[in-house]
Chain A
Amino acid sequence: MNVLLDNFSEFRDGFIGTVEITAVSSVIALVLGLLLAGFRVSPVPPLRFFGTAWVTLLRNTPLTLLFLVFFFVVPEIFFPGMSPFLLGSLALGFYTASFVCETVRSGINTVPLGQAEAARSIGMTFTQTLRLIVLPQATRTVIPPLSSIFIALTKNSAIAGAFSVTELFGWQKLMSDQGYDIVPVFVWVALGYLVVTFAISGAFRLLESRMEVAR
Chain B
Amino acid sequence: MSASVLYDAPGPKAVVRNRIYAVLGSLAILALLAVSIVRLSDKGHLAPEMWDIFNYSGIRENIADGVVATLKAFGLAAVGSLVLGVLLAVARLSDHKPVRWAATGFIELFRSIPLLITIYAVWVGFLTDYSMWALALGLSIYNGCVQAEVLRAGVNSVPKGQREAAYALGMSKTQVMVSVLMPQAVRAMLPTIISQLVVTLKDTSLGFIILYPELLQTARLIASNTQVNGQYPYVSTIVVIGCIYVAMCLALSGLATWIERRGRRAKTGITMAPAAAPVTAADPVGAVVGAGAEVPDGRDGTTN
Chain A positions near chain B (C-beta within 8 angstroms) = 40-48, 50, 56-57, 60-65, 68-69, 72-73, 76-78, 96, 99, 102-103, 105-106, 108-110, 113, 116-117, 120, 125-126, 129-130, 134, 141, 144-145, 147-149, 151-159, 161-162, 168-169, 172-173, 176, 182-183, 185-186, 189-190, 193-194, 197, 201
Q: Is the CB of A73 within 8 A of B246?
A: no
Closest 5 CB pairs of A and B: A62-B205, A158-B114, A148-B281, A60-B249, A106-B300
Assuming A47-B25, A148-B302, A162-B116, what are 11 further A-B pairs, CB within 8 angstroms? A41-B3, A65-B205, A72-B223, A76-B40, A99-B302, A116-B5, A129-B6, A147-B282, A162-B209, A190-B109, A193-B114
Q: Is the CB of A60 within 8 A of B10?
A: no
Partner pick for B287 among A44, A148, A189, CB 8 A cutoff: A148
Contacts of B235 in A (CB 8 A): 72-73, 76
Q: Once the chains are docked, how many angstroms separate the CA of A149 from the CA of B300?
A: 12
B112 contacts A by Cβ under 8 Å: yes
Q: Once the chains are docked, how many angstroms separate the CA of A148 from the CA of B43?
A: 40
Q: Is the CB of A44 within 8 A of B303?
A: no
With A106-B295, A149-B302 as known contacts, state yes or no: A50 contacts B25, CB within 8 Å. Answer: yes
Partner pick for B117 among A45, A63, A68, A172, CB 8 A cutoff: A172
Q: Is the CB of B7 within 8 A of A183?
A: no
B29 contacts A by Cβ under 8 Å: yes
Which residues of chain B from 1 to 54 have a CB within 8 Å of any chain A CB? 1, 3, 5-8, 10, 14, 18, 21-22, 25-26, 29, 35-36, 39-40, 43, 45
Q: Is the CB of B3 within 8 A of A77?
A: no
B113 contacts A by Cβ under 8 Å: yes
Interface residues of chain B: helix, strand, loop or mixed (majority): helix
Contacts of A106 in B (CB 8 A): 291, 294-295, 300
Q: Once the chains are docked, how many angstroms separate the CA of A169 from the CA of B275?
A: 32
Q: B201: nearest residue on chain A (CB-CB)?
A: A62
Q: Is the CB of A77 within 8 A of B36?
A: yes
Which residues of chain B from 89 to 136 have a CB within 8 Å of any chain A CB? 109, 112-117, 120-121, 124-125
Q: Once the chains are docked, how many angstroms separate the CA of A45 from the CA of B35?
A: 22
With A62-B205, A186-B121 as known contacts, state yes or no: A73 contacts B294, CB within 8 Å. Answer: no
Partner pick for B303 among A45, A60, A99, CB 8 A cutoff: A99
| Shortest beta-carbon distance from A197 to chain B in Å | 6
Interface residues of chain A: helix, strand, loop or mixed (majority): helix
Contacts of A129 in B (CB 8 A): 6-7
Contacts of B295 in A (CB 8 A): 106, 109
Q: Once the chains are docked, how many angstroms separate the CA of A100 from the CA of B87?
A: 32
With A60-B250, A77-B40, A190-B109 as known contacts, state yes or no: A65 contacts B287, CB within 8 Å. Answer: no
Q: Is the CB of B304 within 8 A of A156?
A: yes
B164 contacts A by Cβ under 8 Å: no
Q: Is the CB of B290 within 8 A of A65?
A: no
Contacts of B282 in A (CB 8 A): 147-148, 151, 197, 201
Contacts of A197 in B (CB 8 A): 112, 282
Chain A to chain B contacts (Cβ below 8 Å), 19 pairs: A60-B246, A60-B249, A64-B205, A65-B216, A77-B35, A102-B300, A102-B301, A109-B1, A109-B296, A116-B5, A144-B287, A147-B282, A148-B282, A148-B283, A152-B303, A155-B115, A159-B209, A162-B116, A190-B113
Q: Once the chains are docked, how many angstroms separate the CA of A172 from the CA of B202?
A: 23
Q: Once the chains are docked, how many angstroms separate the CA of A193 from the CA of B111?
A: 11
Q: Per-position contact with A for B213-234: 1 when CB-CB < 8 Å, else 0?
A: 0001001100100000000001
Q: Once the chains are docked, how many angstroms separate the CA of A157 from the CA of B29?
A: 29
With A61-B242, A73-B235 as known contacts, state yes or no: A152 contacts B302, CB within 8 Å. Answer: yes
Q: Once the chains are docked, how many angstroms separate the CA of A141 from the CA of B294?
A: 9
Q: Once the chains are docked, how many angstroms separate the CA of A155 from the CA of B216?
A: 20
Q: Once the chains are docked, how many angstroms separate the CA of A130 from the CA of B7?
A: 10
Contacts of A157 in B (CB 8 A): 114
Q: A57: nearest residue on chain B (CB-CB)?
A: B246
Q: Once the chains are docked, how many angstroms separate the CA of A41 from the CA of B22?
A: 14
Q: Once the chains are docked, how many angstroms separate the CA of A64 from the CA of B211?
A: 13
Which residues of chain B from 198 to 216 have a CB within 8 Å of any chain A CB? 198, 202-206, 208-209, 216
Q: Once the chains are docked, how many angstroms separate the CA of A61 from the CA of B295?
A: 23
Q: Once the chains are docked, how many angstroms separate the CA of A183 from the CA of B18?
A: 59
Q: Once the chains are docked, how many angstroms separate the CA of A56 from the CA of B275?
A: 14
Q: A58: nearest residue on chain B (CB-CB)?
A: B246
